[in-house]
Amino acid sequence: MPQQPTRGTRLFTVTADTLVAVGFGPRPPRRPPGPYRRLFTRPGTRAFTLANLLARLPMGMFSVSAVVMIAATRGSYALAGAVTATGLAATALAAPWIARLVDRYGQARVAVPATALAALGSLALLLCVRYDAPAWTLFAAYAATATTPNTGGMSRARWAHLLKGDPDALHTANSFEQAADELCFMLGPVLAAFLCGTFFPEAGTLVGVVLLVTGVLAFAAQRSTEPPPHGRTGAAGDTAVKSPLRAPGMAPLLAVCLAMGAVFGATEVVTLAFADARGHHAAAGVVLALQAAGSCGAGLLYGRLRFTGPAEDRYPWCLAAMTALLILPLLAASLTGSLLALSAALLIAGMATAPTMITNMTLVQHRTPDGRLNEGMTLAVTALLGGIACGSAAGGWAVEHLGPPAGYGVPVTAAAVALLVSLAAAPSGVRGRI
């Protein structure tokens, strides 16, 4: 009678010319999947994420493409800057309205026609530049692009819908989305500059339109993960109560977004001026990309962490870290004057950006009334854009009157203002631990 194999032994079987060993020992346990891998095991999440990334990449391309296109053909950076500033102002007005329609009628139903109108505006700008139309047509065409939907906000809204009741997974999703934002705004300007410089001045805008339309159409086609539309938010008497602007705790969050936008805008302008003053204007994009890379990496790492306390408790700490680390570029520029030292300082300083933004967006989601999530997050993005405009102006003034090294004091000041606002709005127990 043949002997049965026992646990841990090997059974050797012989075929015509092969000796095969079959193991019966215990197999090593498989490593459990990480939080990001678990996130994308849910049906439909990979499809809508890839489509959204395709639609989001042009967000970092359009302004750079417009500046290069207008400056190359009209010979005026002042005109190019004025046109893009007009588009920014129009976006600040139109974006919350578009987001409100998205919440009310659904993402696919609103995002597709809004994107089509924005694409027509970009193409109109391209044609006006190409055929030397009057300057006022550039402003009108670029203002039409303000209907571009907040693709990052729509993606976050899908995650909030799919992960309702799972705060740990939602934290991971928000971290991934912030890292994706950093990646798109890091690669977008580089891609736009490459296309405009390698092919023709309008190439960046043209490719951006194709990517945006393709991405939004693919994103809208993923209906299984789309949050249900919420219709109208009630009778006229309670609409004001349900407005995200009136939600408790929302105003301080938007004020912090405004201050953080000033950090980003001032840092960009001062870095460009610092590199240009040393004859390395082309290297400025690489230096800013390093800051975004530090933020992207920190955001992905932050998403793997698990926190036991509420987001309100760690929010001031994130802003305090951001304020402290922003002192490093100021010191590097003032004490060394080295672009290499500044690059290292910005890389480290960027590591506090994503965790702060992730926590901010988490609090915005918590405090936005039901049925108005896209609008609430778009208000935060609008505040950031407004802050970027203010920070760019303040950074330019500081560079003009105090010099580029001293200009890095502007982002430090803006971050400190954000910290003070968060502390003033924080519960007394949180303020006592800072």
Q: For 241-298, what is each residue's pLDDT tens digit?
A: 467 877 888 899 999 999 998 898 888 888 878 887 887 766 777 888 888 888 888 8
Pair 356, 322: CB distance under 8 Å: yes
Instruction: Please state the domain count of the chain.
Output: 2
- Do 222 and 256 fall into the same domain? no
Whether 29 shows a pLDDT value over 80: the answer reads: no
Which residues on adjacent β-strands are paired with residue 22? 11
Q: Given the structure tokens 């040393």, which residue do they identify?
A: 278
Among the listed residues 152, 161, 215, the one whose alpha carbon sits nearest the alpha carbon of residue 180: 152
- 152 assigned to some structural domain: yes
- 11 assigned to some structural domain: no
Pair 89, 214: CB distance under 8 Å: no
Amino acid in the structure at residue 322: M
Pair 122, 104: CB distance under 8 Å: no
Kindly state the percentage of the chain with pLDDT values over 70: 87
State which of 231, 262, 283 marks the end of a domain: 231
State which of 211, 231, 251 marks the end of a domain: 231
Amino acid in the structure at residue 228: P
Angle between helices 77-105 and 62-74 (to 10 degrees): 150
Q: What 3-state class would DSSP assign to 236?
A: helix
Residue 383 sits in which domain range?
241-434
State which of 197, 231, 265 marks the end of a domain: 231
- 354 assigned to some structural domain: yes
- 193 assigned to some structural domain: yes
Average pLDDT over residues 53-75: 85
Q: What is the pTM of this model?
A: 0.75
- 35 assigned to some structural domain: no
Q: What is the CATH number of the domain that holds 328?
A: 1.20.1250.20
- Do 259 and 324 fall into the same domain? yes
User: How sure is the predictor about 26, in pLDDT bands with cuts at 50, 70 and 90?
Assistant: low
Average pLDDT over residues 52-56: 94
Average pLDDT, the chain: 83
- Do 288 and 332 fall into the same domain? yes
**What does the pLDDT look like over 198-248, one tens digit per residue?**
888 899 999 999 999 999 999 999 999 999 887 665 444 444 446 787 788
Top pLDDT among 91 and 232 is at 91
